[in-house]
Amino acid sequence: MLAKKPPMGWNSWNTFTNKIDEKLIMETADAMVDNGLLDAGYEYLVIDDCWSEKQRDENGMLVADKEKFPHGIKYVADYVHSKGLKFGMYSCCGTLTCAGYPGSFGHEFDDAKYFAEVGVDFLKYDNCYKTKMENYLAYMRMSVALRSCGREILFSACNWGTDNVHSWARAVGAHMYRSTFDITDTFESIKELSESQKDKLVYSAPGCYNDIDMLVTGLHGEGSIGFGHGCTEANYRYHFAFWCLASSPLMIGCDVRNLSKENKALLTNPLLIRINQDEEGRPPIFFGDYEYHAFKVLSNNEYAIGFFNPLDKERKITFNFHDLGLMPNDRCVLKITDAFTGEDLGVYRDYFSAHVGSGDAKMFIATPVLL
Ligand code: GLA
């Protein structure tokens, strides 16, 4: 089964848009390995839109852009595979991709054959220039094509959360599905996207995960979705903590060849990734309307507890153990570990509080201990 756990990797779009080529992809593959991203679980390297020529060949097949990829896509895919990574590409369920390159509608079986031949392991499938065909059927067509192409290819549906995608993405065979419009490298966008999915995460589970969009951690206002602003490091912590608690796929969007020490530490944080990758893939439960907290049941008698402060002042956030159904006289206390630092914070009864800075988050792992 593919996507037993939320898929993790890197995607070219957020930083590079159409400025992609063979050199960038190969250097990114090197950097994913050298920076410990592959070891941390980021296994898919995905080339997004703008990789092909504007026209198909005389047989109706896709052709890689000859200037950007002079040795062809298979050459790049082979290199990516030689580094121990998996290789992903992009197409669209309409007649053109969002950036105006050939889309797959009417060519699904040709394109699945092409992707299988060049060694693709992951296909992101976008939603521009749609035909009159019902949206779920357009995705179903590519799902059938991929499943019959002779190669195992993870199907990443990207219809931006439209057409109630959460109600059919799993049914059509997608392994992850975009549930939001495009993220930008701003705290407003992170807040808006995370709020929009709080009541939809119950649909996400092993085999098919709700994708809140690619990570902006490390963009710092650069790239096509940076708009010159960027987020604070606190906002990036909020972003990554929420995506981990939500079991969202983790697709890095920054230039990993120039990753700061701080962002590398965040993106490879072992306890946060363990929360994201928990094999049970359970949804979190949220408490509070403004600053809020949430818990998620993990395997092995553990609970992840997230504290989120989207407000403009520091707040004290309290997790009452009553939220777990515990009562004061129960023979049960919680051992709390700070998921960001790994620090053992001791054993607590009834409640646990922490101060959380503006636009920041904290995350803990709690283990019940019987008295
Ligand atoms: C859409 C998608 C983005 C990206 C672009 C490419 O906007 O949502 O993630 O793939 O198309 O054109």
Cβ-based neighbours of 111, under 8 Å, separated by 6 or more: 62, 91, 104, 142, 145
Whether 41 is in a domain gets the answer yes
Ligand 1 centre distance from Cα of residue 98 (Å):
6
Segments of the chain with pLDDT less than 70: none
The reply to whether 239 and 333 lie within a common domain is no
pLDDT value at position 227?
Answer: 76
In the listed set 253, 276, 299, which residue is the last one of a domain according to the structure?
276
Do 305 and 197 fall within a single domain? no
Asked if 64 and 195 sit in the same domain, the reply is yes
The verdict on 220 and 116 lying in the same domain is yes
Tell me, in angstroms, the distance from the centre of ligand 1 to residue 283's CA: 26
Q: Is there a single domain that holds both residue 290 and residue 213?
A: no
Which pLDDT does position 83 carry in this prediction? 98
pLDDT digits (tens, 9 = 90+) for 23-59: 999 999 999 999 999 999 999 999 999 999 999 999 9
Residues 270 and 157 in one domain: yes
- Looking at residue 147, its pLDDT comes to 98
Q: What six digits make up the tokens of 31?
A: 């950097």
Residue nearest to atom 8 of ligand 1 (CA): 182
Do 238 and 131 share a structural domain?
yes
- Do 130 and 221 lie in one domain? The reply is yes
In this structure, are residues 364 and 311 in contact, taking their beta carbons and an 8 Å threshold? no
| Structural domain contains residue 243 | yes
Give domain status of residue 2, yes or no.
no
Q: Is the CB of 182 under 6 A from ligand 1?
A: yes
The parent domain of residue 14 ranges over 8-276
Q: What is the pLDDT of residue 224?
A: 82
Give me the residue label for tokens 């049941």.
Answer: 297
Residue 16 per-residue DSSP state: H
| 263 and 116 both lie in a single domain | yes
Which residues are catalytic, by number? 126, 182
Assigned token pair, 240: 């990554």
Structure confidence at residue 152 (pLDDT): 98
Domain CATH for 355:
2.60.40.1180
Report the pLDDT value the prediction gives residue 74, as an integer from 0 to 100: 98
pLDDT of residue 206: 98
| Residues 174 and 97 reside in one and the same domain | yes
Question: Which residue matches tokens 């008698």?
Answer: 301
- Is 319 found in the same domain as 256? no
Q: Is residue 125 part of a domain?
A: yes
- 158 close to ligand 1 (CB < 6 Angstrom): yes
Of 251, 276, 301, the residue that ends a domain is 276
**Residue 231 to residue 260: CA distance in whole angstroms:** 14
Residue 354 lies in a domain: yes
Domain match, 251 and 297 both: no
236 DSSP 8-state letter: H
Nearest CA to ligand 1 atom 4: 13
Q: Tell me, yes or no, whether 3 lies in a domain.
A: no
Domain count, the chain: 2
Residue 304 carries which side chain, given as an amino acid letter? A
Q: What is the pLDDT of residue 283?
A: 98
- Eight-state DSSP code of residue 232: -
| 47, 92, 98: residue to mutate for ligand 1 pocket, most atoms within 8 A of CB | 98
DSSP class of 170: T
Residues 6+ apart with CB under 8 A from 164: none
Q: Is 99 in the pocket of ligand 1 (CB under 6 A)?
A: yes
Distances (CA, A) of 128 to 20, 85, 91, 95, 105: 20, 29, 10, 8, 11
**pLDDT tens digit sequence for 136-157:** 999 999 999 999 999 999 999 9
Q: State in Å: Cα 3 to ligand 1 middle.
A: 21
pLDDT number for residue 229? 77
Residues 99/50, Cβ–Cβ less than 8 Å: yes
Q: Which of 276, 295, 322 is the last residue of a domain?
A: 276
| Residue type, position 310, single letter | P
CATH number of domain containing 174: 3.20.20.70
Residue 1 lies in a domain: no
Verify whether ligand 1 is closer than 6 Å to residue 48 (CB atom).
Answer: yes
pLDDT at 110: 98
> How many residues does the structure list for the chain?
371
